[in-house]
Amino acid sequence: MVPLAAMGALLAGLVLVLCAGSGAAVWPQPQYLSVAAEGGCSLSTTRFRFDYANSSAVGPGCAVLDEAFRRYWKLLFPLGGRHAENGRSKVPLCDVLLVSVTEQGCDDYPSMDSPENYKLAISDEQMLLAADSIWGALRGLETFSQLAWRQDDGTLYVNKTDVFDFPRFPHRGLLLDTSRHYLPLIAILQTLDAMAYNKFNVFHWHIVDDPSFPYESLLFPDLTLKGAYNPATHVYTATDVKVVIEYARLRGIRVIPEFDTPGHTLSWGPGAPGLLTPCYRGPKPSGSYGPVNPILNTTYQFMTKFFAEVSSVFPDSYVHLGGDEVDFTCWKSNPEIQTFMETMGFGQDYTKLESLYIQRLLDIVSSFDKEYVMWQEVLDNAVELKPDTIIHVWKDSAGLYQKEMAQVTKAGYRALLSAPWYLNHITYGQDWMPVYLVEPLAFEGTPEQKALVIGGEACMWGEYVDVTNLTPRLWPRAGAVAERLWSNETVRNTQDAYARLADFRCTLLRRGIRAEPLFTGYCDYDYTAF
């Protein structure tokens, strides 16, 4: 038998789908999926269960899988034991899906290197899900849940099926902006559910920005008390953050927080006096403030304490440090900064001042054994970066993000793509299709450069998005990004994708996710989620 880890090389580039007509629409499309026209078995509410195979390195007591077994049983049988079932069916019953995991360990957090491959085999006699890790097992359970379909007599059925699957990219993220509009905790948790259904594995939490500072810092409570829209209601407490991180972990999702500096920091100012740069109008202060003041030792003392706390709260190896859209106007107006520029020999090149700040910030963050992601401006402005920095490409001016991807990877940095995937932008019609047809590696570069592309993220910025429209604006459109980042690059047929995505949208509705329609039509579950 070929080990799971070695089969990827054998199956790379192979996408095979043999559909029996029902129950075979899986989103995102697996690398290999073969559904037989005959054979399979039914699942009974009174008998079906998930269990660990004798060969599994993990067993009962593994919280990630124990919880997943309970979740997916409820998704298969949302009415519990009240489902109508035809007891006279001649279809064989499958009592158990056995899960076998090769690697030990259930208490860890998912990481960039966590394997997510799995193999699923369903026959008339046995159902087996095998994975290298618990994270791969989670992805396999999601696929299994989508393969099950309910017949007219109420019987839940799965066709005879073979799946071998693994993600194309290791970083498949979704950004939520919780500063411009505060998103209630329940909305974030529901988004994490929908992410798991789409096999996303990174929640990029753009938690603070200019408008508000909803993140509760225990070391600097005034940041929230003076920077949140409402310090009593529009705050993510330390407990809330722990809930999000654990909820995500149980679904195989990493949580990467973003604390964007030196720009996008106006909400920091009231709670951290002296942190921001005073702007001047002529010889006098104007009363307004600009980016973080990069010339003061107190700035770096604050950042050291703040990121020490952040590093202890968020277990992931990565922190997103922003670095985008730094407006130099205020720095240029400040006489103390002008003097500092002269002393340093920077002239009027304020990108050098930005570089000085970023370098010191990276030193601070790396001292806490954290790695970092930064928006593309830090490279565009020739900031001196550490070799392990991940560059996040977001600008799509005139469709030039491919050129930026080429520049980032030519410089030897790992790259994340978001430029064509700003889902807060909406149009009338099938606007998921351009999102779906993006190819992350469609830029001029060597194979070595393209190997530096580790994935991408769909982004939902919050200027015009709050809890009232977050979910329907995200889903199922974000699923187009999910499939592009998971499935083989040859999976590009929009007709097939439309049929599967429309079916998956109905699945999301049935699971309580208010996903918007793709076009005219209806789902059997149109109203059950409301």
Bond before 221 cis per omega within 30 degrees: no
Q: 6: closest CA among 127, 135, 132?
A: 132
Our CA angle for 182, 187, 190, nearest 5°, is 155
CB 346 within 8 A of CB 398: no
Q: Report the distance separating Cα 228 and Cα 211, nearest Å.
A: 8
Q: What are phi and psi of 338, to 5 degrees?
A: -60, -45
Three-state SS at 222? helix
- Torsion sign across C-alpha atoms 61, 65, 68, 73: negative
Identity of the amino acid at 107: D
Q: Which two tokens stand for residue 115?
A: 């394997």
Q: 389: closest CA among 299, 483, 288, 318?
A: 318
Longest dimension (CA), the chain: 90
The active-site residue out of 67, 246, 325, 444 is: 325
Q: Which two tokens stand for residue 52?
A: 């660990």
Does 38 qualify as catalytic in the annotation? no
Q: Report the distance separating Cα 123 and Cα 102, nearest Å.
A: 22
Q: Which two tokens stand for residue 196?
A: 């798991």
CB 500 within 8 A of CB 483: no
Question: Which residues, listed in sequence order, are joined to residue 388 by a DSSP beta bridge?
Answer: none
Q: Which two tokens stand for residue 5?
A: 């880890």
Strand ranges inside 196-306, DSSP E: 202-206, 254-258, 276-281, 284-292
Element (H, E) at 196: helix 185-197
What letter does residue 363 receive in the DSSP assignment? H
CB 213 within 8 A of CB 268: yes
Q: Which two tokens stand for residue 452?
A: 């530096």
Q: What are phi and psi of 353, to 5 degrees?
A: -70, -40
CA-CA distances (angstroms) from residue 212 to 182, 198, 271, 294, 424?
8, 30, 11, 22, 19
Q: What are phi and psi of 242, to 5 degrees?
A: -60, -40
Our CA angle for 478, 479, 480, nearest 5°, is 90
* Tally of CB atoms within 10 A around 323: 30
CA-CA distances (angstroms) from residue 238 to 107, 194, 204, 245?
21, 24, 18, 11
For the annotated catalytic residues, the residue numbers are: 325
